[in-house]
Amino acid sequence: MADATSSSTGARPGYFGEFGGRFVAETLVPALSELEQAYQDIVLGAEFQAEWRGLLEHYVGRPTPLTLAERLARSLDPDGKMIRNLWLKREDLCHTGAHKINNALGQVLLAKKLGKSRIIAETGAGQHGVATATACAMLGLPCEVYMGAVDVERQAPNVARMHMLGAKVIAVESGSRTLKDAMNEALRDWVTNVRTTHYCVGSAAGPHPYPLLVAELQRVIGDEARTQVLERAGRLPDAVVACVGGGSNAIGTFRGFQQDQEVALYGVEASGEGIPSGKHAATLTAGRVGVLHGSRTKVLSDDDGQILEAHSISAGLDYPGVGPEHAALQATGRAHYLAASDEEALAAAAELALSEGLIIALETAHAFARLGDIARIEFEHRKRPVDLLVTLSGRGDKDLATYTAHGLGQRPAGGGAA
């Protein structure tokens, strides 16, 4: 296994500070080099951008709206002293129900231009799997999706959607049978079939150039949000917030505001049953530097460097690593990362449903769980009420069984007719 992007002089291609790189089997180096060249020559080119953005507009439904959440703001801040405006970037209104389709359409379109005849993907919550299956069906390519057996059970609606879209879903029984293991199996498949197959990575993680490619395809979120909030409010938000697993919706949001130093960036990861319990997925909060899935980043590992199992009630955040750009943003202090527990995420989902009529994904709920704290931090720093913008990365249809199991989907006492 080699780090094919290291350089002894100057800035290292494929790195964000000390994080990133390409730690992969030699078999994959030519494919990753081809993808890196295609990123420069095709993805950033005017022809590809016009075709992809046309699909985003006429197929996905972009730009997604920016919603002012006044009732939620008052629920979090009853006196109206801390929060002036609370904006929601509505990625739940994308076709397939989450931000994942932005990246999947771009990668599958690119793979077709490169002459690849087969697409594979990994998925946790199932949203990236559904998005990839959707893109493959629309563009006429076969699709196979690796998914941890635990996630196959807890995300059954998305498994059914993938099947209906013609994708083959491969349940992974190894390890913790969650996202990490699905990614392991997808990488093994790619090593074997690298000449004909494109691996459509779902998050801003993995070996170079995937973190760069996914961030570029997801930055449409932040670019749109920046334009929209300036049009609606006449000013930038004081802080933008997004949930973080591997980190694609967050980095896509952050990219739109990264150069605006006055805008604070906050990511919220999953603390599961609590950091002290060891049953969490709070890589940036409690992890250490290591190598996972071809990239040097922050990981959950023991003293010997062995990767630990992650835990989160949300399948999409249940990952013991994070994209290298997030690790770099934390190291430089440009972005701040908090964590929310399973119970806090459930409570936040319930609050949003009742205050704004929005049933959100469990992943997204983690970002909302920390909004009160972020408002307080920014209010104390700026000494005035603040504007917050949070990316609502996905809708909660896929999580209804989990919500119901925790009492959120039960008929209220004294409620109306069923």
- Catalytic residue IDs: 100, 122, 393
Tokens 């802080």 correspond to what residue?
239
Paired residues of 198 in beta bridges: 119
* Both tokens assigned to 359: 């049933």
Peptide bond connecting 30 to the previous residue in cis, omega within 30 degrees of 0? no
Given its phi and psi angles, is residue 137 left (phi above 0), alpha (psi -120 to 50 degrees) or beta? Answer: alpha
Q: For residue 147, give both structure tokens.
A: 């998914």
Contact 12, 21 (CB under 8 A): yes
Q: Which residues pair with 119 in a beta bridge?
A: 143, 198
Cα of 247 vs its chain's centroid, Å = 4
CA atoms within 13 A on the CB side of 353: 18
Closest CA to 346 of 271, 291, 235: 271
Which of 102, 16, 112 minimizes the C-alpha distance to 61? Answer: 102
Distance, in Å, from the CA atom of 277 to the CA atom of 288, rounded to the nearest integer, reads 17
β-strand partners of 122: 146
* Residue listed under structure tokens 């990753």: 32
Q: Which of 146, 145, 136, 130 is nearest to 107 (CA)?
A: 136
Q: Residue 310: exposed, middle, or buried by beta-carbon count in 10 A (0-12, 13-18, 19+)?
A: buried
- How far apart CA 263 and CA 236 sit, in angstroms, is 7
Q: Strands across the sheet with 143-148, in order?
A: 168-172, 143-148, 118-123, 197-200
Q: How far is CA 174 from CA 57, 61, 145, 374, in A?
A: 39, 37, 15, 38
- Kindly write down the DSSP assignment for every residue of 271-283, as one continuous string: EET-GGGT--B-H
